[in-house]
Amino acid sequence: MSARPGTALITGASGGIGAVYADRLAKRGYDLVLVARDRARMEAVSDRLKGVGSKIEILVADLTKENDLSAVEARLGMGDISLLVNNAGMSLKGSLLENGGAEISKIIALNITAPARLAATAAKAFVKTGQGAVINISSVLALAPERYDGVYSGSKSFLLNLSQSMTAHYSGQGLYTQAVLPGATRTELWERSGKDIDSFPIEMGSEQEQCGIVR
């Protein structure tokens, strides 16, 4: 019997792209740590994967809150995680002119601060052992800031920049880093922000199932 590839920690794992990664990684033999705010929805993801044979741990956390983010960092630092999928994210509801400081601080906390801290924690552990991978879910909008509000697309540009830097500096030390740039994907992110995904050019769209693993 072949050894299992390890344990993957996935943020934003209660639905959308995160749930797709959970499904595909479990079917590749990974055990999972699912991270999101909604326990019931993560349990539903776990129930769908019961027959796969993976061990599935649920960690309820709001990554915009310091204590919760620190708890996820601590879980990453336990030494059994071999893959981090930085997927959690949000969009502003309305334009830059329609949002205040609290809303802007929240999107920066979730889309930039949290994935940067988790990537750093994972990278330290993986470089120490000489193996491990970080997948950062960016967006095609990182390459087209004029198409959308600059805070969201800027946060995705940050993830692309971070991924490229991590590859340049640490690939020779056993750390594999991948940036995924899906098109506008039919997930709850758009519903919550009140934006119409169909307003994007068709060439910029993609379905959840297209945002899979190419590693």
> What is the domain class of 7-210 according to CATH?
alpha beta
Round to whole Å and give the CA distance between 156 and 207: 18
Q: Which helix (H) or strand (E) holds 152?
A: helix 150-170
Q: Which residues pair with 8 in a beta bridge?
A: 32, 83
Between the CA of residue 26 and those of 32, 144, 185, what are the distances in Å? 7, 33, 22
Contact between 81 and 119 (Cβ < 8 Å): no
Residue-wise pLDDT for 103-140, tens only, equals 999 999 999 999 999 999 999 999 999 999 999 999 99
- pTM of the model as a whole: 0.86
Q: Examine the pLDDT at 213 and tell me if it is beyond 90.
A: no
Going by C-alpha positions, the residue among 37, 103, 111, 101 that lies closest to residue 68 is 37
Query: Residues 6 or more apart from 146 whose CB is under 8 A from it?
Result: none
Q: What band does 27 get if pLDDT is binned at 50, 70 and 90?
A: very high
Residue 145's pLDDT is what? 85
Domain edges within the chain: 7-210
Round to whole Å and give the CA distance between 204 and 215: 22
Mean pLDDT, the chain, as a whole number? 89
Residue 2's pLDDT is what? 54
Q: Which residues pair with 184 in a beta bridge?
A: 205
Residue 166's pLDDT is what? 98
Contact between 209 and 187 (Cβ < 8 Å): no
Between the CA of residue 84 and those of 27, 77, 118, what are the distances in Å? 16, 11, 8
Q: Examine the pLDDT at 26 and tell me if it is beyond 70.
A: yes
